[in-house]
Amino acid sequence: MFITFEGTEGSGKSTLIRTLSEKLTLAGIDHITTREPGGTSVAEGIRKVILDHEMGSLTELFLYEAARAEHFEKTVLPALKKKQIVLCDRFTDSTIAYQGFARKLNLKLIDQLNKIATHSRAPDLTFFLDIPVEQGLARATNPNRFENEGLAFQKTVRRGFLYSIKKHPRRWRVLKVAKKTPDQLADEVLAQMRLRSKGRK
Ligand code: TYD
């Protein structure tokens, strides 16, 4: 099963993924955790270039997609072939939200590049960590250049995620983050994963 986690800045994706991974390990369930951009040495190198430098929007898009192609072929696909569960922090929906909505690049082009980079393999489930953008930004301790773009940018990113949720409602699960602990959220995710795998049998 291929599971991705999406959200605006400071929504708590990485803490949730860590907690979830601990629970899966305790239950003896084979899985990997990974992230985009990143997840292989080349893709982590591209991540550093993207996050450390200002650049044109199109350059940014191609770098995210290059990192994705590498990550998908070298990390995600081999794990899925070994029947491991893959938990991935951000994926194709982030590109629609950030480069499509916030940077205003063509959505059809992004969709095509996403499909090429992922061999058209969509995630089985995508969790949206829903938190007011103001709260998320306030949580950011070491802001990256996307967090520094400010509130209006984050609100547009959020609209981008809501667009994808509307477009593919069966794949998405919305997690209301407010007042919930990572432990509670991880249990919600596990329950949804069980339902999804039962539905497939
Ligand atoms: P990161 O520090 O991991 O942010 P976060 O913890 O919020 O996930 O940096 C990744 C940044 O890259 C994040 O601001 C979102 C952005 N991003 C895109 O703009 N497009 C993409 O396709 C992906 C995967 C990420």
pTM: 0.97
Q: What is the Cα–Cα distance from 27 to 25, expressed in whole angstroms? A: 5
Cα→Cα distances 145→43, 51, 69, Å: 18, 7, 23
State the distance from the centre of ligand 1 to the C-alpha of 113, rounded, in angstroms.
17
List pLDDT tens digits, range 5-42. 999 999 999 999 999 999 999 999 999 999 999 999 99
Mean pLDDT computed over 132-144: 87
> Is pLDDT at 199 greater than 90 in this prediction?
no
Question: Is the CB of residue 131 less than 8 Å from the CB of residue 12?
Answer: yes
Q: What is the pLDDT of residue 91?
A: 98
Q: What is the pLDDT of residue 201?
A: 60
> Is pLDDT at 46 greater than 90 in this prediction?
yes
Range of the domain at 81: 2-200
Which CATH number does the domain housing residue 133 bear? 3.40.50.300
Tokens of 137: 């930004």
Mean pLDDT computed over 105-133: 97
Q: Give the mean pLDDT of the chain.
A: 96
> Is pLDDT at 68 greater than 80 in this prediction?
yes
Q: Which atom of ligand 1 is nearest to the CA of 10?
A: 7
What residue owns the CA closest to ligand 1's atom 11? 146
Q: What is the Cα–Cα distance from 122 to 7, expressed in whole angstroms? A: 17
What residue owns the CA closest to ligand 1's atom 22? 95
Mean pLDDT computed over 70-74: 98
Q: How many domains does the chain have?
A: 1
Q: What is the Cα–Cα distance from 133 to 144, expressed in whole angstroms? A: 15
- Would you say the C-alpha torsion 86, 87, 88, 92 has a positive or negative sign? positive
